[in-house]
A = this chain, B = another copy of it.
Amino acid sequence: MRTVAIAGVGLIGGSFGLALRAAGYDGRILGVSSPATIAKATAAGAIDRGVSLEQAVDEADLLLLAQPIHVILETIDRLSGRMKPGVLVTDVGSTKRRIVEHGRAALGASFLGAHPMAGKESRGVGAAEPELFRGRPWLVTPVEQNELDALPHRQFLVWLKRIGAHVIVCSPADHDRWVARSSHLPQLLSTTLARTLDEREDREAILGAAGPGLTSMTRLALSSWPIWKDILETNGDSIAEALGEFQAALSTTARALKEGRLEESFARGAQLAGELLREP
């Protein structure tokens, strides 16, 4: 892996470049982004220089698409028919079925879907950091058995481990089902909670009387709509299923509230929440 190219040098793409360098990678790191971002990313040491997408695919052994989902889909179209043998294209999109389907149709076995479960509230390459992926899951979603045995794939996974990511292999469908529960449902709960409070006539009184718990439960509601538009469009069925499950669970909670038997729910909820807090 002598040359890595990163298309979209924002928080995730920039952190990947910094992480590679910090882990001892001494090949070239190319970036595909706007001139302003290239300048910032080069100054930060996340990439060596900026190139066009065409140059990137000509020169790189690994091309990481660290773009919004709809841009990843467009980039895959632009790469179609231009791939050299032995080049691996992978992505960081938050949903996987649509992207992997598209990537495989256009690029065949050169495409490997993936999704690092890392992030922070600040965005852009200015917020990038070499340790962003340490101890965090990096889901990898092959569609064929033995797909990960190919040399470019093996090299990619070695570097993921070197930057401290915890590689998890699963199908695109399992990925989308899991993140619908672990990420997309929590997002819609936070947004719905914040939206309903925003619409109330006694909004000011409720905000005035709010404690820190409400702030933590509505924090996700600050998430960027353009990013979530893509996620909701490409994982809508799984998310609708997760919402339906939660509505049933909420009915159970409402009944248990009425009957004064929520102790078991609190015990199980605390158990799971404690595990999440203890994880890195």
Chain A residues with a Cβ under 8 A of chain B: 117-120, 136-137, 139, 166, 168, 170, 174-175, 177-179, 181-183, 185-200, 202-203, 205-223, 225, 228-229, 232-233, 236, 239-240, 243-247, 249-254, 257-258, 260, 262-263, 265-277, 279
Contact = CB atoms under 8 A, between A and B. Distances in A.
Question: How many monomers of this chain does the complex have?
Answer: 2
Given A207-B275, A228-B266, 15 more contacts: A117-B210, A120-B212, A178-B206, A183-B213, A186-B214, A190-B269, A193-B246, A194-B268, A194-B271, A197-B272, A207-B276, A219-B273, A223-B266, A228-B262, A243-B253
Contacts of A202: 177-178
A216 B209 CA distance: 21
Nearest to A247: B250
A228 B265 CA distance: 12
21 contacts: A181-B197, A182-B210, A182-B211, A183-B211, A188-B253, A189-B193, A191-B253, A191-B269, A194-B270, A196-B246, A215-B277, A216-B219, A218-B272, A219-B273, A220-B273, A222-B277, A225-B266, A236-B258, A244-B254, A247-B250, A247-B254
Contacts of A217: 186, 189-190, 216-217, 220
